Structure 1
Amino acid sequence: MKNKILGLHLERYMSKMICCEKGVVTGISWEFTPPEMFGEKGIQRWDLAADLVRRMKKKLRTSCRDVALVIPENDAYVRRVVMPAMTEEQLYFNLPFEFHDFIADRQQDYVYDYALQQMLEDEGTHRSKMELMAAAVSRRWLDQHSAMLKKCGLRLYSAAPESIAFQNMVRVFQALHPDEDIHNMAFLNLGYSEVQLRVYSDAAYETGKQIHPAMEQLCQILRDQCGIQDWSTHDRAQVEQALEQPACREIYQQIALEIMRVLNFFQYNHPGQQLNVLYCSGGGATIQPLMRAIRDTVGLEIRLLQDVYAKACREPAALLYGAGAVAMAWNQEK
């Protein structure tokens, strides 16, 4: 367990770094990502990435050097697997074979890790089995990010795909709200370039989807039809009026319907398991007509992460804009 760690999420539109001390988020810094930093296959300008990280680190004014890094879902393979109970050494030997269908001839080029979900018992043999969330990420990807962080005076301490990192959100929720008997949680991040929905059952990732359109399309409508270039500097009343126009409402409904489909799929495959609340983050969570459309379509209570996790986060903006980095920093295991 680390007393102090930096959560880092490098994204195409905006990158975020948060500082976490003894499990409590104490600060966030973010920067707009230079457009030329990313190429089609990920980061292509590592010098720009290093400069970006240095600027965010400087804003936080922290001496912490250890970084917990979010791995984009497109850069990792994640599988839920069941294996016979075995030692950790045996497990690491066998994990590559679980990804044979994806990386059959390149297994040595990947790093493998797992998160234990639960121990099971085979009904026929009564032998113990392990249910795992297993992940594989390119060794080259990790080496490149580690080298970039080293140039910034930082150290790559841990890394995980966002779907696995968000399991920490469930764990922290249960610690903060022990009286709430909640086994299923759905997290919705309404980001600029993508909307991500993830559903967890007993802290284990069950299903999810990357939803389009996202807030980028809303911004485009406001620029093209209303001449609103920057929401933060424009007259608030005019922005709110623009967000109610039909073209925007159509976007809201598209997003809401996709969310409903994913949640219906989960409940169809898990009869008897209820989802009552949708936990939301991202800049889109501040758009009231969008949130109304989601609530009315999905039929669930809407709660914002910064309200739910207030006791573990002194900076509400960290959970609004940097939930992935927070989830990664809340990971208590290397």
Structure 2
Amino acid sequence: MKNCLGIEIGHYRVKIAYMEHGELQTYVSERLETENQTDMKVYAELIKDVLKENNIRCKNAVFVLRQDDTYVKRCSVPLMTVDQLKLNLPFEFHDYIGDELEQYQFDYGVIERTEDQLDLIAACCRKDLCQQFLKLAKMAKLKLIGLVPGVIGLERILEHMNEGEEKKDFAVLDLGTKALRMHFFRKGIYDTTRTMEPGCEEIEQIRRGDKEQLVQLNVDDDDTFWGEKGEKTLDEALSNRYQTIAVQAMRVLNFYSFNNSDNTIDSLYYCGGGARYKGLIDTLSDTVGIPVKSIGEILPELDAKKMPEWIDSPQTVGVLLV
């Protein structure tokens, strides 16, 4: 496709990546300044405003499905026809959605096919949510090209590792505002996610100057946001929160490694809103026991120094990769 938008509607931000001829041209993250986070008109107007302000005329759009809104799993089924698969695939999700199978839309991708078996990556999403995205696209005057789970976007980024390395095992820590999520990939294919709460919301509030939060930390807000001294003051005040996140991440990594002793994870890649906090990343590096790297290192051609914001939501870029 000549050009396309990758759009994620987060809990607190709308994130938009614009790619043209396979190259990232623009990435924008816009905070939602509204309490009504279910109003499609608000989202549509914000998207139109962002596209206009950034002189983006593209109408094709792929929306990222948040982890909260979709189920993704790897499964093996007997070799069958497409029609048989459409009939049987929903039952692979019975443990997640019970008897509400009729309320969900299902899709899949074939990882490997043998003489008697199919190895699949499958996903499902509520039909009413799919309709909401279709409505949103129309209101924003966009053409909906597809809905893709965020973890599949991350998987497509991992496919761009150096030749031979893309088949390793990976761990990606998404430092989100509402929650922290550790995504695991086996031989480059999505495996599972572990969610940890709370996320980086408290850190973000403090760094945005929330006076109530600053008072609780005994930080003088008059002197907090001035140069290196202010940065050091904030990092010292947040050190316990940084350490809590780092220890949580270490425990999740250790637990996964205990249950998958043959894994080849040798680095922890990070992304999300919390990726902008150097003090947090330094604490992670000192705690988890393996190298900690930005997911941006996998796609150096995106020039992280010029456009570092995209690691806030690499999923918006990943869903556009082929």
**TM-score, scaled to structure 2:** 0.88
The answer to whether the Cα contact below 8 Å between 1:306 and 1:316 also exists between their aligned partners in 2 is no
Query: Do residues 69 (structure 1) and 63 (structure 2) align?
Result: yes
User: Which has the larger displacement, 282-291 or 222-231?
Assistant: 222-231
Query: Do residues 329 (structure 1) and 314 (structure 2) align?
Result: no
Query: Do residues 299 (structure 1) and 308 (structure 2) align?
Result: no
Q: Hey, which bits of structure 1, 4+ residues long, moved more than 4 A? A: 179-182, 227-231, 312-315
* Alignment coverage as a number of residue pairs: 313
Q: Tell me the CA shift for residue 229 of structure 1.
A: 9.4
Alpha carbons of structure 1 residues 117 and 70: separation in structure 2 relative to 1, 3 Å: same
Q: Tell me the CA shift for residue 21 of structure 1.
A: 2.0
Alpha carbons of structure 1 residues 229 and 152: separation in structure 2 relative to 1, 3 Å: farther
Letter in 2 for 1:16: K
Counting only pairs closer than 5 Å after superposition, residues 130-149 of structure 1 correspond to structure 2 as 130-149=118-137
User: Which has the larger displacement, 3-12 or 206-215?
Assistant: 206-215
Give the superposed CA RMSD: 2.4
What CA distance in whole angstroms lies between the structure 1 residues aligned with 2:167 and 2:111?
17
- Flag structure 2 segments of 5+ consecutive residues without an equivalent: none
Q: 1:226 aligns with which of 219, 222, 240?
A: 219
User: Which has the larger displacement, 304-313 or 106-115?
Assistant: 304-313
Show the counterpart of 1:82. Answer: 76
What CA distance in whole angstroms lies between the structure 2 residues aligned with 1:250 and 1:53?
37
Counting only pairs closer than 5 Å after superposition, residues 202-241 of structure 1 correspond to structure 2 as 202-221=187-206, 223=210, 224=214, 225-228=218-221, 234-241=225-232
Alpha carbons of structure 1 residues 281 and 181: separation in structure 2 relative to 1, 3 Å: closer
Alpha carbons of structure 1 residues 118 and 287: separation in structure 2 relative to 1, 3 Å: same
Q: Tell me the CA shift for residue 230 of structure 1.
A: 12
Counting only pairs closer than 5 Å after superposition, residues 82-161 of structure 1 correspond to structure 2 as 82-119=76-113, 127-161=115-149
The answer to whether the Cα contact below 8 Å between 1:83 and 1:129 also exists between their aligned partners in 2 is yes
Q: Tell me the CA shift for residue 228 of structure 1.
A: 4.4
Q: 2:274 aligns with which of 280, 284, 304?
A: 284
Letter in 1 for 2:256: F
Show the counterpart of 1:188. Answer: 173
CA distances 1:175-213 after superposition (whole Å, capped 9, x unpaired) = xx2264761121122233332221111121122222233
CA distances 1:276-315 after superposition (whole Å, capped 9, x unpaired) = 1111223422323222221121111122223331214675
Instruction: Give % identity.
Output: 26
What CA distance in whole angstroms lies between the structure 1 residues aligned with 2:195 and 2:99?
29
Q: 1:264 aligns with which of 254, 257, 266?
A: 254
**TM-score, scaled to structure 1:** 0.85
The answer to whether the Cα contact below 8 Å between 1:228 and 1:239 also exists between their aligned partners in 2 is no
User: Which has the larger displacement, 99-108 or 182-191?
Assistant: 99-108
Letter in 2 for 1:143: Q
Aligned partner of residue 10 in structure 2, secondary structure: coil
What CA distance in whole angstroms lies between the structure 1 residues aligned with 2:262 and 2:93?
32
- Flag structure 1 segments of 5+ consecutive residues without an equivalent: 121-126
What CA distance in whole angstroms lies between the structure 1 residues aligned with 2:41 and 2:295?
33
